């Protein structure tokens, strides 16, 4: 059983799988959005306004990497930099309205894509799988 999951994970974490998925997801999403900036965009949508240091942990990157990607998104008008009112050292990264729109569209596209790939599954089985996958990722042999 562990073997089956290990094999599936191997395929999932394969470079070409990951890059291809992110590329298809962000393809044509507009200026500044690619497989590198998407996690920052998505992370901000998930957590709300955040400092680069906080977001670095959320996204699994160094803060310098977050700064770089955030600058790309800022140039594209999807992210805004606001001073943190509680700490003058910090800068809060915030999604612009356009950023919110783009993220919502991308998330919907991905969710639809996944739902579509499960269309041949019995609905209750698909729902059970979704719940189990969440649990596995949360509890599993990761981070």
Partner DNA sequence: TATTGTTATACTCTATAACTATA
Partner DNA sequence: TATAGTTATAGAGTATAACAATA
67 binds DNA (CB under 7 A): yes
Find the distance separating the first CA and the last CA of the chain, reported in whole Å. Answer: 21
CA dihedral for 126, 21, 73, 78, sign (positive or negative): negative
Give the residue with the Cβ less far from a copy of itself, 14 or 81. Answer: 14
| The two three-digit tokens of residue 47, written as one number | 């957590």
Q: How far apart are alpha carbons 97 and 113 in whole angstroms?
A: 24
Three-state DSSP string of 117-128: HCCCCCHHHHHH
Q: Which does 69 bind (CB under 5 to 8 A by kind): a copy of itself, DNA, none?
A: DNA
User: Which of the residues 44 through 63 are near DNA (CB under 7 A)?
Assistant: 51-54, 61-63
User: Which of the residues 13 through 42 are near DNA (CB under 7 A)?
Assistant: 15, 34, 36
Q: How far apart are alpha carbons 26 and 34 in whole angstroms?
A: 5
What are the two backbone dihedrals, phi and then psi, of residue 24, each rounded to the nearest 5 degrees?
A: -65, -35
3 binds DNA (CB under 7 A): no
Smallest separation, CB 92 to a copy of itself (Å): 22
Q: Which does 67 bind (CB under 5 to 8 A by kind): DNA, a copy of itself, none?
A: DNA
Among 68, 96, 98, 107, binds DNA (CB under 7 A): 68
90 binds DNA (CB under 7 A): yes
Integer-rounded Cα radius of gyration of the chain = 17
Q: Which does 73 bind (CB under 5 to 8 A by kind): a copy of itself, DNA, none?
A: none
Q: Which does 70 bind (CB under 5 to 8 A by kind): DNA, a copy of itself, none?
A: DNA
């Amino acid at each position: 059983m562990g073997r089956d999951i290990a094999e599936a994970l191997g395929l999932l974490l394969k470079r070409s799988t990951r890059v291809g998925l992110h590329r298809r997801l962000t393809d044509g999403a507009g200026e500044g959005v690619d497989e590198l900036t998407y996690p920052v965009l998505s992370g901000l949508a998930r957590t709300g306004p955040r400092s680069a240091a906080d977001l670095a942990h959320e996204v699994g990157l160094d803060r310098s990497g977050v700064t770089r990607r955030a600058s790309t998104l800022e140039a594209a008008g999807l992210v805004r930099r606001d001073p943190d009112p509680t700490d003058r050292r910090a800068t809060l990264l915030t999604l612009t309205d356009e950023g919110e729109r783009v993220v919502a569209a991308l998330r919907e596209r991905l969710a639809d894509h996944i739902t579509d790939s499960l269309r041949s599954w019995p609905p209750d089985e698909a729902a059970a799988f979704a719940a189990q996958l969440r649990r596995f990722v949360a509890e599993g042999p990761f981070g």
